[in-house]
Structure 1
Amino acid sequence: LNVVLVLHLSLHMLLNPAVVQKPWKNSQGLFQDGDVIIGGLFPLHYQPPAIDHDFTQLPHYNPCTGLEYVPLQYIYAMVFALEEINHSTMLLPGIKLGYHIFDSCGRPPWALQSGLFLCLCVCVCVFQISYLSTCPCLSDRLQYPNFFRTIPSDIYQARAVAQVVIRFNWTWVGAVVANNNYGYMAVFQEEIQGAGVCLAFVETLQRENIISDARRAALTIQSSTARVILIFTWYTDVRELFLQLVTDRQFLASEAWSTSGDLVQNSVTSKVANGVLGVATRSSAIPGFESYLRRLHPIHHPDDEFLREFWEVEFGSPISTLKVTYNVYLAVYAAAHALHSLLCPIKDSSSENNISTCSSPKQIKATEISNKTGSLDCERCPLELWSNAKRTACIPRQLDFLAFNETLGITLTTAAVTGVTVTTVVFVVFLHYRHTPVVRANNSELSFLLLVSIKLCFLCSLVFIGRPSVWSCRFQQAAFGISFVLCVSCLKVKTIVVLAAFRSARPGAEALIRWFGPGQQRGSICLLTCIQIIICTIWLSLIPPVPRQDLGFQGSKVTLECAMVSVVGFCLILGYIGLLACTSLILAFFARKLPDNFNEAKLITFSMLIFCAVWVAFVPAYLSSPGKYTVAVEVFAILASSYGLLFCIFAPKCFIILLRPERNTKKYMMAR
């Protein structure tokens, strides 16, 4: 078991989708092995290198520059606390805490890169404790159940600053805020409502454009009549703002910079910062920490790149305030006490002072089941089983497939049965009126065969529903492929008949229709369908789909599915159907303007457009759907395309036969 304690990783850094490709061995950090690894992220540098955005290669982030002394102090507060705990006989006795510390650079790409390095290094990210993340949004236990912090939410400092403004009767105030969630200006504005306080302006500073943003904010401050300026941002941003020589204003400081010793070291910023009024977090002395800092030397820590860089830049930098450093110290101890409760729950009455005994995490197996309450020795359930609610026994995992008795299965089954019923009704209507001009004019034999094939398409969708078996997995794709080829072949031949009939009406082309008479029509449909039958036979004989259990993640449902050992056969089935559909669409499109007494091409064109649209949309939906929803997508595509063919081709004819019988005459048809 390894534990990650991320001491500082702002919310906007977590949400940034940057891709990190930098090798682990080239990363800069501070490392110490141990039984439990504590991870730390600190904004140690503030100047990112230039990034190549020409998108000609994978992103590569070089180390940042511009060492910050205060975050360096935070790092050694963490190391100091860990060394104290490792020497303690009361807290985690027998457990050695190690650390992996990285620089986040205070920027999303570098912070995400360092966070990924931590995960690669210690494998498991159990919880996070922040010493500096003050966003109120992080208090939401539903969204962030594993996030904790040793610094108050911004809500409290926003309310405090608002009360200061109201107390001093400052009614005209300007504001400069960070372009993120820090500061929570909404709370400040709520607090000053009704108190006679108005905001003259609100300027934002973005870390990536801090120089230009600071210059713009400085110009706004100087040109404004507001004499009181509230600044909610990080101390390095304030430093850039004050370097613009913003004078003759009363500044209200947030806790991030109100006590920053960094601002008084520069003659320009110290002059501007003189007389600042602000809020600060509570702090306390860390016994022995100042002496520890003064003893640090690169000779004794040859692998410490951060310390070596500090000594190279400046020797003997003065120690600034410990207010945030103390939060880091508290965060490490909070993690240690949590680990103590986890690893040292048993009191040893035989030992002196009744000290807790700890179990090394290398020995606390995955906690799955145990028949003893509070036992440290647990057994992992097999993949096909999972633990019960009390974690005392392994029980079979729930099977998941597209069943007839669930809502989705019932809906699809109802749609399929309805389609079969409607197709049967249309077939009976056409059979009863088979001698009428509307039925005869559009090749009644092919119409009946087309209705049979559409009915088969509706029926084949039912094979996909239910528990997968060897028989159903083999039959469903074959039934689907052959039914739709038969259907599209009928439409293709119908369109060819329309074209042949029109061409044969021209002088000298009387024999054309005889070359494509009823025998040739049946033979063409049989040939086109036989090709699909051959494809299905070869596929199902060599590498057919087989029922398979997808175990997924431990503790999830077991998905029963028909797994395709090879997708080549399925792609050939779909490709052949698509080829016939496209050629039918092209032929119908060319024949759409032929005389109406022969022409069924307009209806075929529209039906083929719907058909093609459904199956083009099917491919990405099928590939991206998980588990049983993959089957549901295919069933939906079958039903949608079948209904499209049925209604587009046969609904206008049934309308004339049943509701407009006066149009169903030879005289009327010839007049058209």
Structure 2
Amino acid sequence: MKKLMKTFLNHRAKEDPYNLPWTARQLLDGIPSSVCSDPCPKGYRRAAIQGQKICCFDCLPCSEGEILNPNDDSECLKCPEDKWPDSRKEECLPKLIQFLSYEETLGSALACISVLFCLLTYSVFCLFIIKRKTPIVKANNRDLSYLLLISLMFGFMCSLAFIGRPNRIMCMIRQVMFAVIFSLCVSTILAKTITVVMIFSATNPDSKLKKLVGLRIPIYIVPVCTMVQVILCIVWLTTDAPFAEFNMEAEIGIIVIECNEGSRVLFASVLGYMGLLASVSLFVAFLARKLPDTFNETKFIAFSMLVFASVWVTFIPAYLSTKGKQTVAVEIFAILSSSAGCLFCIFSPKCYTILLHPEMNSKENITGRNTRNREKRF
């Protein structure tokens, strides 16, 4: 076979001696090939085989985040922290910068949902202003209802601060705004719940809470509870405020710009205080759920606080298990869903009565129901 191959190559060499491959010339000249291993492909380095000749080697891929040394194909070089190898591992390219922006589908969708819920809350607020003289709006302190609707509007809008490229100012604003607004919202719900309890106590001559009605305690609950959260936020901002940072390790080949909470102890204190307010509101509303209130205010408040607490309890594992911009999306979703839960649970029954059953929104109807409730009780 080898003899036939040489005869064929000799014939080719006579016809076209300058177009003969170099390996064929080696075969004709009797020079053996010194290559026992093929050259390594791009992105692979040469690794000598122990006990073998230098021309025999293995090809090992460069590790993650490394490229082949252009001056020495037996070693790989690690890319800088802000760069990542290309697909062939020949060059270090700048990493992609990622954050939740308005230009992408997820960011724009969350922004649209926030605006729509804000407009819906504003519509309910306008409806309550128009029907401010009706019994269902007057019930359980209409001023607190106005304040709750305004805080919910700001709650929906504060989620917009979480969308866009983070910087130091925005990181401080978004966290403080979120904490203060939700503390105002929950403290208002707590004040509404205590108002229901005190109103019922005023109609019951045997109640020990009747003496507290004249003190107008619900008026002081909102500013005092909110001021405590404001003080916590001031301490947080002056000692170790949130700041923007470049997270190189969240996702492979991507730089995630995110907000670092700064002091985790103060951040946990802010969230813990908000959770304490929600727990107290849920506890008081649950105890008062069977009071003979015409519009079942305490039942709706208890259910809204149950939804609120459920959202934020499930938020914690979801927040810890996500990375990159999905973490911000989870936080925005928790803000929107908890605010929407409070809006629908507390105000949708009242809007239903005002718009679809106006005959129930009368003083005579309320008086008749209260009378029947008192007769049943006694």
> TM-score w.r.t. structure 1 length?
0.45
AA aligned opposite 1:552: E
Q: Are 2:304 and 2:341, in contact at CA under 8 Å, matched by a contact in 1? A: yes
Counterpart of 1:343 (choices 40, 43, 46) is 46
After TM superposition, the structure 1 = structure 2 runs for residues 31-46 of structure 1, keeping only pairs within 5 Å, are none
**Structure 1 CA distance, aligned partners of 2:335 and 2:79?**
40
User: C-alpha deviations, 1:444-499, integer Å up to 9, x for none?
Assistant: 10000000111111111111111110011111111111111100101101111111
The residue number in structure 1 matching 2:81 is 383
AA aligned opposite 2:185: C
Counterpart of 2:233 (choices 515, 520, 536) is 536
The residue number in structure 2 matching 1:513 is 213
AA aligned opposite 1:560: I
The residue number in structure 2 matching 1:547 is 244
Distance 1:553 1:614, change over 3 A: closer
Aligned length: 324
After TM superposition, the structure 1 = structure 2 runs for residues 13-52 of structure 1, keeping only pairs within 5 Å, are none
Q: Are 2:36 and 2:55, in contact at CA under 8 Å, matched by a contact in 1? A: no
Shift of 1:574: 1.2
**Structure 1 CA distance, aligned partners of 2:246 and 2:76?**
26
Counterpart of 1:558 (choices 255, 275, 283) is 255
Distance 1:369 1:431, change over 3 A: farther
The residue number in structure 1 matching 2:172 is 474
The residue number in structure 2 matching 1:651 is 348
Q: Are 2:45 and 2:73, in contact at CA under 8 Å, matched by a contact in 1? A: no
**Structure 2 CA distance, aligned partners of 1:390 and 1:433?**
69
Shift of 1:400: 1.2
User: C-alpha deviations, 1:548-574, integer Å up to 9, x for none?
Assistant: 111128951111111223311111111
Q: Are 2:45 and 2:76, in contact at CA under 8 Å, matched by a contact in 1? A: no
Q: Are 1:344 and 1:357, in contact at CA under 8 Å, matched by a contact in 2? A: no
Shift of 1:533: 0.5
**Structure 1 CA distance, aligned partners of 2:292 and 2:252?**
65
Shift of 1:411: 2.2
User: C-alpha deviations, 1:3-32, integer Å up to 9, x for none?
Assistant: xxxxxxxxxxxxxxxxxxxxxxxxxxxxxx
Q: Are 1:386 and 1:554, in contact at CA under 8 Å, matched by a contact in 2? A: no
Considering only CA atoms, is the larger Rg found in Structure 1 or Structure 2? 1
AA aligned opposite 1:634: E
Q: Are 2:35 and 2:55, in contact at CA under 8 Å, matched by a contact in 1? A: no
Distance 1:555 1:607, change over 3 A: closer
**Structure 2 CA distance, aligned partners of 1:411 and 1:584?**
32
**Structure 2 CA distance, aligned partners of 1:367 and 1:577?**
46
The residue number in structure 1 matching 2:365 is 668
The residue number in structure 2 matching 1:459 is 157
> Gapped runs of 5+ residues in structure 1?
1-88, 93-336, 346-354
The residue number in structure 2 matching 1:617 is 314
User: C-alpha deviations, 1:151-176, integer Å up to 9, x for none?
Assistant: xxxxxxxxxxxxxxxxxxxxxxxxxx
> Gapped runs of 5+ residues in structure 2?
1-33, 370-378
Counterpart of 2:288 (choices 591, 604, 622) is 591
**Structure 2 CA distance, aligned partners of 1:420 and 1:653?**
18
After superposition, the CA RMSD in angstroms is 3.0
The residue number in structure 2 matching 1:368 is 67
Percent identity for Structure 1 against Structure 2: 41
**Structure 2 CA distance, aligned partners of 1:655 and 1:591?**
23
Query: What is the DSSP-based 3-state SS (H/G/I as helix, E as strand, rest coil) of the residue aligned with 2:246?
Result: strand
Q: Are 1:504 and 1:512, in contact at CA under 8 Å, matched by a contact in 2? A: no
Distance 1:446 1:370, change over 3 A: same
**Structure 1 CA distance, aligned partners of 2:251 and 2:76?**
15
Instruction: Name the one with the larger helix percent.
Output: 2
Q: Does 1:418 align with 2:116?
A: yes
Shift of 1:360: 10
**Structure 1 CA distance, aligned partners of 2:178 and 2:250?**
32
Distance 1:622 1:376, change over 3 A: same
Counterpart of 1:493 (choices 191, 208, 212) is 191
Shift of 1:605: 0.6
Shift of 1:393: 3.3
**Structure 1 CA distance, aligned partners of 2:150 and 2:250?**
44
The residue number in structure 2 matching 1:449 is 147
Counterpart of 2:106 (choices 408, 413, 417) is 408
Q: Are 1:491 and 1:584, in contact at CA under 8 Å, matched by a contact in 2? A: yes
Q: Are 1:588 and 1:601, in contact at CA under 8 Å, matched by a contact in 2? A: yes
Answer 1 or 2: higher relative contact order, Cα 8 Å, separation at least 6: 2
Query: What is the DSSP-based 3-state SS (H/G/I as helix, E as strand, rest coil) of the residue aligned with 1:488?
Result: helix
**Structure 2 CA distance, aligned partners of 1:612 and 1:574?**
12
**Structure 1 CA distance, aligned partners of 2:145 and 2:250?**
51
> TM-score w.r.t. structure 2 length?
0.78
**Structure 2 CA distance, aligned partners of 1:557 and 1:436?**
57
**Structure 2 CA distance, aligned partners of 1:669 and 1:446?**
20
User: C-alpha deviations, 1:498-535, integer Å up to 9, x for none?
Assistant: 1111111123776532112xxx4332210100000011
